[in-house]
Chains A and B, each alone.
Chain A
Amino acid sequence: MISIKGLDKWYNSLHVLRDINLQVDEGEVVVLIGASGSGKSTLLRCLNRLERADRGEIHILGREINQTDKDLDQLRQQVGMVFQHFHLFPHMTVIENVIEAPIHVKKMNRRAAERLATELLQKVGLADKMHSYPHSLSGGQKQRVAIARALAMQPRVMLFDEPTSALDPELVGEVLSVMKELAQDGMTMVVVTHEMGFAREVADKVVYMDEGRIIEQGTPEQIFGAPQEERTQRFVSQIYN
């Protein structure tokens, strides 16, 4: 479903991604872990071309993503993204946030879009907030709206960049449980997170990154239980202390 080959990226002289090779299969949940600045967000953002890699190839759904802008907009409809800081549209109500892209990008009619949005908002437990504005929601609620907004485009892949890092601890659970449900429904997901419990429980594959490199990847049992590389061992033992 996603195949990354020999990806390199520089910010000026800073080599942020080094020869990244990664495969994500349909229905798989891949969790990216690693220290701050290791390039996790950059890699994720390359997947929907919010950032452009300097070298290498990314195929998503069988298509190379270094394409013209028009094809890029098409690609992005297939790849949903959830951000650390939500980025809800503050001038729109919750339901407007969710239906905006289906109506204007997919040309879905308003009635159908509203039906879909209502369904999704029920799924994330926010049916009663449909007509509220984002400023009146808690962080956890905002993030759940952001997930519903991304799902409304009916993407084949969902990218999450630290979706719970900006939340108060007591609000983390409600967002993670929505993500768990999504994973159980078979959504292909790439998730950057520091929530190791989530990684252990939900991930099919855990990828450990350091200084722009993938150091090690494997099942949660392998990475957390029996890491092969010294750097992974150090990172994992730090987490559990």
Chain B
Amino acid sequence: MTLLEIFQTTFIGFSKAAWQTVLLTFWSLLVGTAIGLVFAFCKISSNKLLNGLAQLYITVIRGTPLIVQIFAIYFGLAEFIVLDSFTAGVFALAIHAGAYIAEIFRGAIQAVDSGQMEAARSLGMSYSLAMRLIILPQAFRRSIPPLGNQFIIGLKDSSLVAYIGGTELWSAGLGAAADNFKQFETYFINGLYYLALILLFTGLLRQLERRLQVEKRGTQG
């Protein structure tokens, strides 16, 4: 079997599985972004309890391998509720990415000049209004590049869901290689699918950045 033949025989299976990867990544990063936002606020809050909680979460997630987290959620939670591997995968990936995204948001919020908050407060805005209208829009713009980077990592990380019975791209690769015994060629082609997805995503991201830049430029007030 040539590379082309392997490509042809795996095409339908890989394409379907790639779509699964896209869905898995999309949902996990959506939930992960929400988690990240919540914990970013906990971390900048002056409440010691929330602060400690956020610190603990971030330390544990960053200090343990993703595969351990995926197994812990899938098998650990199986004691209490039945989770299909897709749902468990979404949550595990979300909780994992959330820790990194929290740090991205925290950094971006704190990087906004403190004069912005003072100016907003001096106009009579409450803390939360100033956050919403003045600080967060500036912080979001700053977080787009590191967030994009984190999303790329998230997409590749989703391959580990194969090991709890996922049906995404890498599990399709493992299945195909077991059938045709052409490990190198099959995995090579499998990798090209990831590469294509990431190039696609990077392109979209660049367009978004360019649009934001044309719309509203400058960081100096």
Q: Chain A: residues with CB nearer than 8 A to chain B?
A: 48, 50, 69-70, 73-74, 76-77, 79-81, 83, 85-91, 100-101, 104-106, 133-136, 142, 146, 149-150, 153
Q: Does B205 contact A (CB under 8 A)?
A: no
Cα separation A46 to B19 with both chains bound (whole Å): 58
Interface residues of B in 131-157 (CB under 8 A from A): 133-134, 137-138, 141
Q: Can you offer 13 A-B residue contacts whose CB atoms are under 8 A?
A: A50-B121, A85-B115, A87-B113, A87-B115, A90-B218, A90-B221, A101-B123, A104-B133, A105-B123, A105-B124, A133-B217, A133-B218, A153-B124
Checking B127, B134, B221 against A86 with a beta-carbon cut-off of 8 angstroms, the contacting residue is B221
Contact status B221-A105, CB under 8 Å: no
Interface of B is mostly: helix
B126, A73: Cβ atoms closer than 8 Å:
yes
Q: Given known contacts A104-B125, A105-B125, is B220 in contact with A134 (CB within 8 Å)? A: yes
**B20 close to A (CB within 8 Å):** no
Number of B residues near A (Cβ < 8 Å) is 25
The CA-CA distance from A36 to B113 in the complex, in Å, is 23
Which B residues have a C-beta under 8 Å from some C-beta of A? 113, 115-116, 118-127, 129, 133-134, 137-138, 141, 216-221
Chain A residues contacting B137 (CB-CB under 8 Å) are: 91
- Would A76 and B124 be within 8 Å (CB), given that A50-B118, A87-B115, A89-B116 are in contact? yes
CA distance A48 to B127 in the complex (A): 15
Question: In angstroms, how far is the closest chain B Cβ from the Cβ of A143?
Answer: 11
A134 contacts B218, CB within 8 Å?
A: yes
Shortest CB distance A171–B (Å): 16
Write out the residue numbers on chain A whose beta carbons fall within 8 Å of the beta carbon of B113.
87
A135 touches B218 (CB 8 A): yes
Do A83 and B121 form a contact, CB below 8 Å, given A90-B221, A135-B220? no
Contact with B141, one of A76, A86, A91, A100 (Cβ below 8 angstroms): A91
Contact of A89 among B118, B119, B141, B217 (CB under 8 A): B119
Contacts of B122 in A (CB 8 A): 48, 50, 76, 79-81, 150
* B134 closest partner in A (C-beta): A89
Q: How far is the CB of A38 from chain B (nearest CB, A)?
A: 21
Kindly state the separation between the CA atoms of A69 and B122 in the bound complex, as whole angstroms: 13
Nearest B residue to A145, CB-CB = B221
The reply to whether B218 and A74 contact each other, CB–CB distance below 8 Å, is no
Q: Collect the chain A residues with CB atoms within 8 Å of residue B138's CB.
A: 90-91
A69 contacts B219, C-beta separation under 8 Å: no
- A-B complex: 7 closest residue pairs judged by Cβ atoms: A135-B218, A77-B124, A87-B119, A101-B123, A88-B221, A87-B115, A81-B122
